Homo-oligomer: A and B are copies of this chain.
Amino acid sequence: MLKLKQVHIDTHRENVAFLHLNCTAYRADELQAIQKIEVACGPRKILATVNLVGNGQIVAPGEIGLSEQAFHLLGLKDGTEVEIAPAAPPHSLQWVRAKIQGETLSGKAFKEIIADVAAHRYSKMELAAFLVSCAGFMTADEVLSLTRAMAGEGTRLSWSEPLVVDKHCIGGIPGNRTTMVVVPIVAAYGLPIPKTSSRSITSPAGTADTMEVLANVNLGISQMQELVLKERGCLAWGGHMNLAPADDVMISVERPLNIDTPEQMVASILSKKISAGSTHLVIDIPVGPAAKVTSRPDAVRLRKLFEYVGGKLGLVMEVIITDGSQPIGNGIGPVLEARDVMKVLRREPDAPLDLREKSLMLAGMVLDFDPALPGKAGYARAKEILDSGQALASMEAIIDAQGRNLNPPRLGEMSFEVSATRTGVVQTIDCYAISQLAQTAGAPQSPGAGVDLFKKVGDAVKKGEPLYRVYSVFKSDFAFAKEMAKRGSGYVIG
């Protein structure tokens, strides 16, 4: 029996237990051999990696310290008596070992792995082993099993509606904020679209980051359900919803390792949609030299995988392959992207046409799911809703319902322009380079940081004419961005 103690150390989603070298529960030589323990008090139990402490300041010999996350996960009070026991690694690791050895895993194996992952029983090392072994190869049926297992953990929303729609872009294209135009159009039309988005993982802004410029995005499950009942749509951050929680755990390893395989992508996206109770889904796969998918054959393979897994799970899907050769809209970074979205919704004359057109196309595809709408009338209906101002009204209502941001972040006060080094026509814009530049400038941590494009592919440009302007909030970011911009503009002018 040891006394529980909260240790105020944030160990990045990994449960860590701090035990004194002279811990009263185990002999020193036993302790050295123990890597993981189970900490329990009655039915409440967690697994944690052991860190041995030779210092009474952190824990006394009769105490067990838990890192922030582990302490909250266990949910007991400081000073509670808990029992500890050496923990065997999770039973499901046997399947990970089999996968490493090249075996194909059963549905049961994925179910057990994902249950352990969602319960934070895997260390980051074990997560990496699972994810990398899956990155080696996965059959379509394995992706199906993985998706089903991920959707099986956490919250599962149900709506008493025949159609619950959603749209999702696999990402990778800077400025591609179509979601924030599509949702108000669809909501104004009347189909329920309970959209949850992520924050940026490796980009200058996620939809949640951009929406946060305008409104609160931290909605709980019941708040979201109420909102969709009333406004037919929402633009919330998925982080508080506990939808397919294993995905969030895995992202904490996928992100630093840059693992972004088609298989993980399909499982991640579709499990969230199933958990959110969606029935009909439009998926956008942008293809371009610096996009996530770089060739049409790859895009077609990915589409087929989406269709196979989604179909087996009962989702009605429309997967569209779009042009991902350059950024969409002009602004890149939360404040700039929110500006573009609102310009489109407000039908301002300088609203980016590409963002408008792509949003209308996607919204049209979503509306076409409605059996009540005559064949392929979706696009025209979406245009009507946007041009009549109904979409704007819907967006304003959603913003108010979520909680308008009364103190919206402003564009960064430091800025510099990058200009053309020759006269000609813009041939290509390197999405990856522009995205890196926006991040170096401070996006999304500083919502007011980013890049505002003045020229797109096909535009004529004169030598010395500005191609884009970079904004920063902090001096250090500004200096780094300026340095980076010197290495090349990301534009090819021919």
Chain A contacts to B: CB under 8 angstroms: 7-12, 18, 27, 29-30, 33, 35, 49, 51-55, 57-58, 67-68, 89, 93, 96-97, 100-102, 123-129, 131-133, 135-137, 253, 256-259, 445, 474
> Do residues A11 and B257 form an inter-chain contact, with CB atoms below 8 A?
no
Known contacts A136-B133, A445-B29; decide if A125 and B9 are in contact (CB<8 Å). Answer: no
| Neighbouring B residues of A58 by C-beta, 8 Å | 7-9, 57-58
8 Å CB contact of A57 from B57, B67, B474:
B57
Beyond contacts A10-B53, A93-B257: 16 other A-B pairs, Cβ-Cβ < 8 A, are A9-B58, A11-B51, A12-B35, A12-B51, A30-B445, A93-B258, A124-B124, A124-B125, A125-B127, A125-B128, A125-B256, A125-B257, A126-B128, A132-B136, A133-B136, A136-B137
> Do residues A97 and B29 form an inter-chain contact, with CB atoms below 8 A?
no
A89 to B67, CA, bound (A): 24
| Shortest distance between the CB of A86 and any CB in chain B (Å) | 11
A29 to B209, CA, bound (A): 14
> Do residues B257 and A126 form an inter-chain contact, with CB atoms below 8 A?
yes
> Do residues A129 and B257 form an inter-chain contact, with CB atoms below 8 A?
yes
> Do residues B259 and A136 form an inter-chain contact, with CB atoms below 8 A?
no
| Shortest distance between the CB of A83 and any CB in chain B (Å) | 15
8 Å CB contact of A51 from B9, B57, B124, B258:
B9
Known contacts A35-B12, A125-B127; decide if A100 and B132 are in contact (CB<8 Å). Answer: yes
Query: Looking at chain A's contact residues, is the secondary structure mostly helix, strand, loop, or mixed?
Result: mixed
| Shortest distance between the CB of A481 and any CB in chain B (Å) | 15
A35 to B252, CA, bound (A): 11
A35 to B9, CA, bound (A): 14
A35 to B12, CA, bound (A): 8
| Neighbouring B residues of A29 by C-beta, 8 Å | 445
| Shortest distance between the CB of A27 and any CB in chain B (Å) | 8
| Shortest distance between the CB of A100 and any CB in chain B (Å) | 5
Nearest to A20 among chain B residues (CB) is: B8
Nearest to A130 among chain B residues (CB) is: B132
Known contacts A125-B125, A132-B132; decide if A89 and B256 are in contact (CB<8 Å). Answer: yes
> Do residues B257 and A33 form an inter-chain contact, with CB atoms below 8 A?
no
A68 to B55, CA, bound (A): 11
> Do residues A8 and B124 form an inter-chain contact, with CB atoms below 8 A?
no
8 Å CB contact of A102 from B18, B68, B136:
B136
| Shortest distance between the CB of A44 and any CB in chain B (Å) | 23
8 Å CB contact of A259 from B67, B100, B124, B445:
B100
| Neighbouring B residues of A126 by C-beta, 8 Å | 128, 256-257
Nearest to A89 among chain B residues (CB) is: B256
| Shortest distance between the CB of A41 and any CB in chain B (Å) | 22
A51 to B18, CA, bound (A): 13
| Neighbouring B residues of A133 by C-beta, 8 Å | 132, 135-136
| Neighbouring B residues of A124 by C-beta, 8 Å | 123-125, 128
| Neighbouring B residues of A136 by C-beta, 8 Å | 100, 102, 132-133, 136-137
Nearest to A27 among chain B residues (CB) is: B474
| Neighbouring B residues of A33 by C-beta, 8 Å | 445
8 Å CB contact of A54 from B8, B12, B27:
B8
| Neighbouring B residues of A132 by C-beta, 8 Å | 100, 128-129, 132-133, 136
A259 to B125, CA, bound (A): 12
